[in-house]
Amino acid sequence: MGNSSSFEISLKQIASKEEARILVTGMNWAGKTTILYKLNIGEVIVTCPTIGLILESVRFRNLTFAIWDLGCSLGFKTLWKYFHTNIKGIIFVIDSNDRERMDNLKWLLQEMLFEEMLSQLPILFFANKQDLPNAISLNEITEKLELFLIRGRIWRIQGCSAIRGDGLYEGIEWISHVLNFGS
């Protein structure tokens, strides 16, 4: 990665080229990449791996899905600063099998929910890995992450298994519909 000013210029260039998008995010290992592959909505493109920001994007109808990790050392704020104007919705992927990181996840989610630049955007929560025997139920995830406290935006939690493909299209159809892009 170059120095911080050349890095900022690179970010600006990426942000200016991209069109309206849905941000797909969540903790690492949650299944973001697998979901996008499974949806078979196009080739996953590593847009710019050289600057330390792993940005993958795929297209589905007229939506662009861009993904990056919460665990990324850049942090939310750097990314939001450049990308928020094009973001129309958020897909937040949860590893339903990861009980140990639920508390961490809750705080990361809170940080995002309170981010002014992302306020009012609809959120689809994909409770992924529901195929695993110890997966946490949707009700329990809703409790643990306090999703019921979300105000001022449309949200939905959708159980899914990126491995099997269950639930993915229901979620994508929902967010497409909410954004008035879907048929």
| Binding site residues, Mg ion, CB under 5 A | 32-33
Please, are residues 19 and 64 in contact by the beta-carbon 8 Å criterion? yes
Residue 3's contacts (CB-CB under 8 Å, 6 or more residues apart) are none
Considering CB distances under 5 to 8 angstroms, the limit depending on partner class, which of ligand GTP, Mg ion, none binds residue 94?
none
- The β-bridge relationship of strands 56-60 and 45-46 is antiparallel
Q: Residues binding ligand GTP: what is the number (CB under 6 A)?
A: 15
Whose Cβ is closer to Mg ion: residue 8's or residue 69's?
A: 69
Burial class, 43, CB count within 10 angstroms (exposed 0-12 / middle 13-18 / buried 19+): exposed
Among positions 11, 30, 79, 102, the unique one binding ligand GTP when judged by CB under 6 A: 30
Choices 14-22, 45-53, 136-144, 156-164; region in contact with ligand GTP by CB under 6 A = 156-164
Helix segments in the chain, DSSP class H = 4-17, 32-38, 75-83, 102-113, 138-144, 168-178
Among positions 6, 28, 85, 137, the unique one binding ligand GTP when judged by CB under 6 A: 28
- Please report, in range form, the residues annotated as the binding site for Mg(2+): 33, 50
Indicate whether 162 belongs to the interface with ligand GTP (CB under 6 A).
Answer: yes
| Cα distances (angstroms) measured from residue 160 to each of 40, 96, 116, 131, 144 | 15, 9, 29, 8, 18
Whose Cβ is closer to ligand GTP: residue 90's or residue 162's?
A: 162
- Please report, in range form, the residues annotated as the binding site: 26-33, 50, 128-131
Contact residues: ligand GTP, CB under 6 A: 28-34, 69, 128-129, 131-132, 161-163
